[in-house]
Chain A
Amino acid sequence: MTAVVSARHLGLTFRTNDGDVVALSDVDLEIGKGEFVSFIGPSGCGKTTFLRTIADLEQPTSGTLTVNGQTPETARRDRSYGYVFQAPALYPWRTIEKNVALPLEIMGYSAPQQAERIGRTLDLVNLSGFEKKFPWQLSGGMQQRASIARALAFDADLLLMDEPFGALDEIVRDHLNSELLKLWAATGKTICFVTHSIPEAVYLSTKIVVMSPRPGRVTDVIESDLPRERPLDIRETPEFLAIAARVREGLRAGHSYDEGAV
């Protein structure tokens, strides 16, 4: 497996008026092609910061980070990833199809190419028939699906998702999780997925990165041996529960380590 993302002793310190905040400290991580990697940990553990660093939205202050073997900036200029934010961030003055077209317009795709890709990706996220709707006419779950379609519309092999389903209710979230797995299987993309939820992380991932705060660091990396084909009721199986228990243990260890310091 070739490394899509490779971090070596990666550190990031924010300088604020109240002093330095260490968001990431000594992070070592390899993400291979086609993996589904979840980042889990409490608030302030640096999981979103790490994702933003891969996306060249934050600059590391120490160590090295490569994306597709290049610097994050070059990778961004090559448009090698799609980013899904916590909120849909759809432009309210654009219809759903025009929102999906936004990156295509910016990247200079021709009109027929745009139409073909819009149709294909909206179909992929089950939003066919909603092309002409404006974002406010859609539910929160549908808006987030539209934003995923937007991230899939161009040919990026890497999908960075920052708690995309965090604001949605449990039922919608379950549904979107299983759809996301199908989508991953259909496209073969590498996905980095930030979450607060242990079941979500275990259900989705081939690799789970457990992180802990102050300073933000990786405490455990768990390779999941669950089959790639995952019905929703896999979450009741002993294998699933064993992995979930190990994640929970990792989170607890990170937390107790912290208590002395606070």
Chain B
Amino acid sequence: MQRLGQSFMTRFLPILTVVVAIVLVWYAAAIGMNAAWQNDVYRRGDVANVPFTQFVLDTWSQDKPVLPAPHQVAIEVWNATAMVAPNKPRSLLFHAWVTFSATGLGFVMGSLLGIGLAVLIVHNEAMNRSLMPWIVASQTIPILALAPLIVVIGFNIFTGTIGIPTDPARLLSKAIISAYLSFFPVAVGMVKGLRSPEAIQLDLMHTYNATPSQVFWKLRWPASVPYLFASLKVGVAASLVGAIVGELPTGAVAGLGARLLAGSYYSQTTQIWSALVVASMLAALLVAAVGVVEKLVNRAMGARPA
């Protein structure tokens, strides 16, 4: 019990402190940022001499605040998740699922592409020289400039030339943006990981007269696993960003990005913030999921417990 209490103190107390600090700053900021509108409301209603506590409570309960208070966001998230059937467009779970499916597909595509590129680069000096600059250059283009192109052109090709129905085509277009963002950390991390075996470990393989594929599967690949998971964590978060960006500029009707955009059209700040909160929770869940897989793999590979 003593140890349990202690681990709670050391693990959660710092996190809790930061959360409390953020919430306090948030409430304070909400007063300041909503004050102008609140004063306007009082003036129009000919209300004077409002006590300060009343004024504060009013700034925290506006319909369309500049900055909604944390409890307003929390209530909106609750109403849009627990209180609505998850298959209704009112539900944030519905939108989260749409974004998640594009994220997941893009993450798988991007990771496979990243690993594939890393394998080529490590095994072929010409590939190393020719591919690496392009891989780096690909990430210097703002994704916001590229996303509409990919979504519109991709969508037209998928539905027109290839003849895929609209929903899968939309999903695939978004997934391509996710993949575009997530392949980069995986490629860079895996190049480093596949090159991580020491000289004597490679010499050992040479003395056994091992084939290149044996060197890869028995040495380079297992040696790269720690690098792979570090990259995957960055990659999965980047995938989510890609999927949301893919929903922003294209008139998409579903997904957290569409929800953000709709909120901004109608000045529904609480809706924007609740979509943001759900997006960040989704990101945390995705990174945590990669972390769980990493733990399981590490245990199977006999890693020393930290």
Contacts and interface: CB of A to CB of B under 8 A. Distances in A.
A57 B202 CA distance: 11
Interface stretch (A27-35, A87-95, A164-172, A192-200): A87-95
A85 B214 CA distance: 20
Given A95-B302, A102-B218, A106-B218, A87 B200 contact: yes
Contacts of A91: 201, 218-219, 222-223
B208 interface: yes
B301 interface: yes
Contact of B201 (A76, A81, A83, A89): A89
Nearest to B298: A93
B248 to A, nearest CB: 42
Contact of B207 (A83, A92, A94): A83
Interface residues of B, number: 21
Interface residues of A, number: 25
Given A92-B302, A93-B302, A79 B209 contact: yes
Contacts of B304: 134, 136
Contacts of B210: 106
B136 to A, nearest CB: 28
A79 B208 contact: yes
B218 A105 contact: yes
A80 to B, nearest CB: 10
Contacts of B207: 55-57, 76, 81-83
Contacts of B223: 91, 93
B203 interface: yes
B204 interface: yes
B302 A83 contact: no
A89 B200 contact: yes
Majority SS of interface residues in chain A? loop
A137 B208 CA distance: 26
A76 B209 contact: yes
Interface string A29-64: 000000000000000000000000001110000000
Interface string A85-120: 111010111110000001101110000000000000
A102 B301 CA distance: 15
B59 to A, nearest CB: 57
B206 interface: yes
B198 interface: yes
Interface string B289-306: 000000000000111100
A89 B222 CA distance: 14
Interface string A131-142: 000101000000
Nearest to A93: B301
A150 to B, nearest CB: 9
B302 A134 contact: yes
A246 B80 CA distance: 89
B188 to A, nearest CB: 22
Contacts of B218: 91, 102, 105-106
Nearest to B201: A89
A77 interface: yes
Given A93-B222, A103-B208, A106-B210, A85 B203 contact: yes
A106 B215 CA distance: 9
Contact of B209 (A77, A89, A105, A136): A77
B204 A83 contact: yes
Contact of B204 (A56, A81, A89, A95): A89
B104 to A, nearest CB: 28
Nearest to A79: B209
Nearest to A77: B209
Contacts of B201: 89, 91
Contacts of B200: 85-87, 89
A57 B209 contact: no
A87 B208 CA distance: 17
Contact of B214 (A77, A79, A106, A134): A106
B208 A106 contact: yes
A91 B224 CA distance: 12
Nearest to A95: B302
Nearest to A132: B302
A57 B302 contact: no
Contacts of B206: 56-57, 76
A87 B210 CA distance: 20
A93 B223 CA distance: 8
Interface string B191-227: 0000000101101111111100010001100110100
Shortest beta-carbon contacts, A-B, top 3 = A134-B302, A93-B301, A83-B207
28 contacts: A55-B207, A56-B206, A56-B207, A57-B206, A57-B207, A77-B209, A79-B208, A79-B209, A82-B207, A83-B203, A83-B204, A83-B207, A85-B200, A85-B204, A91-B218, A91-B222, A92-B303, A93-B222, A93-B303, A94-B302, A102-B208, A102-B218, A103-B208, A106-B208, A106-B209, A106-B210, A134-B304, A136-B304
Given A82-B207, A93-B303, A106-B209, 7 more contacts: A56-B207, A57-B203, A57-B206, A76-B206, A85-B204, A94-B302, A105-B218
